[in-house]
Amino acid sequence: MCSPLRPRPERGELAFEPECYGRSTQGRPLEVWLPGEPPEVLVFAGIHGEEPETTVALSSALRSLGPGRLRAAVVLAANPDGLARGTRGNARGVELNRNFPTSDWTPAMALHRFTRGEPQDVALSPGPAPASEPESEALMELARRLAPRLVVALHSPLACVIDPRRSEPARWLSQRTGLPMRMDAGSPTPGTFDGWAREETEAMAVTLELPVCSKDEALVRYLDSLVDLLATTVAAMRPIDL
């Protein structure tokens, strides 16, 4: 029987090596950790480089799993150049989560807040064309190759679970995390990966938005939920009827 968790002294490093599924704008490897069997779930973090807590939280969950427990494919840093620079966009200043070829993609500048509570007045390009960036193209090709039943994108700091279809995995994740369900982010979000996944693949697509909190707070509050997300089959992600 597989042990559910690794002993805490062993969680300082990842238990096995990733596969490289592409290269970033600056040539950094785009890495995915794969389970031994074809994954039903793809979970990724760090598509916005100024949301490093998503990468740390997902890495901590991956490092906590015992041998043979991983069920999901895991991308810790979908935008490694942005993470290295601390910028929302990639090394070319493109907002990657507005760069996917959705039916609502627009060439208009993507606006975001410099700090929470301020106006959305910081502008980034969505790219010269849909899927113009190597990070976007590589993530789409990974999703096509793996053909997961469920895709979960980690973001911050909206403190909610977003799924306009209110799928069972989304409601299960809402119950596990204690974060409320929402149908959308509250403002237009054209060209997102989850929008592309819903339009172009058969996968359910869910966004998990962590709240404003420190790395330690995120782990105290959400580590168990993220471990469950990585170790649970889609069929077992059934919300409890309240």
Rounded Cα distance between 154 and 42, Å, is: 11
H or E segment at 21? strand 19-23
Helix 52-64 with 215-231: angle, nearest 10 deg: 50
Structure tokens belonging to residue 73: 């494919």
> How far is it, in rounded angstroms, from Cα 114 to Cα 50?
10
Please say whether the beta carbons of 158 and 51 come within 8 A. no
Structure tokens at 48: 């916005």
> Between β-strands 150-155 and 158-162, what pairing exists: parallel, antiparallel or unpaired?
unpaired
Helix (H, G, I), strand (E, B) or coil at 28: coil
| Residue 235 near residue 71, CB atoms below 8 Å | no
Give residue 51's Cα distance to chain centre. Answer: 11
Specify whether 209 is catalytic.
yes
SS3 13: coil
- State which H helix or E strand residue 228 sits in: helix 215-231
Candidate list 50, 135, 209, 217, residue with the active-site label:
209
User: Where does residue 186 fall: left (phi above 0), alpha (psi -120 to 50 degrees), or beta otherwise?
Assistant: left
Catalytic residues: 209
